[in-house]
Amino acid sequence: MLLLDLVRSFKADQTACRKVRLVWAVRTNDGLSWFDNVISSAIKAAPEQLSIDVSYYVTDTTATLDDGASIESEKSKPGGGGVSRNTGRPHLHAVVKEFCGEQGTVAIATCGPNSFNINIGIAVAECELAILGGTSACSEIYLHRETYSW
């Protein structure tokens, strides 16, 4: 998983990354259990200087967030970070816009259905236009997309 690789690279002083935001959307709470051990391990293993912020979204709004969700709220670090749980879908445009509000270089990696990746691509393109226009805090943005379907 990319998150574990970033933590290992940070510890080995092989990355300039200082902040990670993971937005994870699943249909049901059962979907959270697929990677909860990996994500929890990465958060616990991360040094305090690496801020990791995880936002979970359960898109089935009839589900309660406690059913089947075994991921516990992880430590909050002085530099930020933590875990939040939400119902519904993440507002992708707002998430990307928030990322682009960060100073320096921003990298976005996605994996989802084609419509998801198209929406992310549109938001990143708007960010690139803001960079070109000198109105964005970030100076560079990279996008890596992977597509899956059911």
What is the pTM (predicted TM-score) of this model? 0.79
Residue 34 in 3-state DSSP? helix
Q: Identify how many contiguous H helices and E strands the chain contains and give both numbers.
A: 4, 5
CA distance 118 to 124: 10
pLDDT band at 81 (very low <50, low <70, confident <90, very high): low
The confidence score (pLDDT) of residue 30 equals 85
Q: Which two tokens stand for residue 23?
A: 């937005």
pLDDT band at 66 (very low <50, low <70, confident <90, very high): low
Q: Is 78 exposed, middle or buried (0-12, 13-18, 19+ CB in 10 A)?
A: exposed
Does residue 129 surpass a pLDDT of 90? yes
The confidence score (pLDDT) of residue 67 equals 44
pLDDT band at 1 (very low <50, low <70, confident <90, very high): confident
Of the candidate ranges 45-49, 75-79, 91-95, the one whose mean pLDDT is the lowest: 75-79
Mean pLDDT, all residues of the chain: 85
Mean pLDDT value across residues 11-29: 90
The confidence score (pLDDT) of residue 140 equals 95
11-46: burial string, b at 16+ Cβ within 10 Å, e else: eeeeeeeebbbbbbbbeebebbeebbeebbebbeeb
Q: Which residue has the tokens 């936002």?
A: 55
